[in-house]
Amino acid sequence: MTSEAANSGDEGEGTFNRKSDVRYGANCPGVIELIFKDRKHYIALTGVIVNLSATGCLFSNDKMPWSNRETQKSLDSLFEIIHETCRIYIPWGNTHCAGVIRRVGSFIIGVEFHQALEESFVAAVASLEPNEHLRFKPKRSRRYNRILPIALR
């Protein structure tokens, strides 16, 4: 028999409830900026937004400082040094927004946006395909994928 909580759709406290928004396979470039809790350092990671919805996205990067850690315990301790809030920049739409990190893996970060994006914007970005005009090459590449003092931000 199923529990009464399962029948009512309630989830346990502290669990992440996935939104029911449409998730689009985006495969577009993106930048996520993480601030360390000491508020003296930050890191701006370049990578790919694997999927995108109006309320969040899944960001992937193989250069994350914690990618060589193997256990979930070490990934959980990541929030002891990095704030849960972050900023996402979507260059193909020239948009940035603030969000909260909901899950972290060795090569992924799941982000929930503070304010929902327009559904038409999300669909338009997801429909774009990379070509010679749709590439993301930062002007100052030395400022990405490295831990830097916040004064240089």
- Please give the pLDDT value at position 86: 95
- Please give the pLDDT value at position 120: 93
Mean pLDDT per 10-residue section of the chain, whose length is 153 residues: 40 48 87 90 91 94 71 65 92 92 88 94 88 70 83 72
- Please give the pLDDT value at position 65: 72
Cα distances (angstroms) measured from residue 37 to each of 9, 25, 42, 73, 150: 35, 32, 9, 19, 11
For the chain, list the domains and their CATH numbers: 22-128 (2.40.10.220)
The four Cα atoms 20, 126, 75, 96 give a dihedral, to 10 degrees, of -100
- Please give the pLDDT value at position 22: 85
pTM for this predicted structure: 0.76
- Please give the pLDDT value at position 39: 84
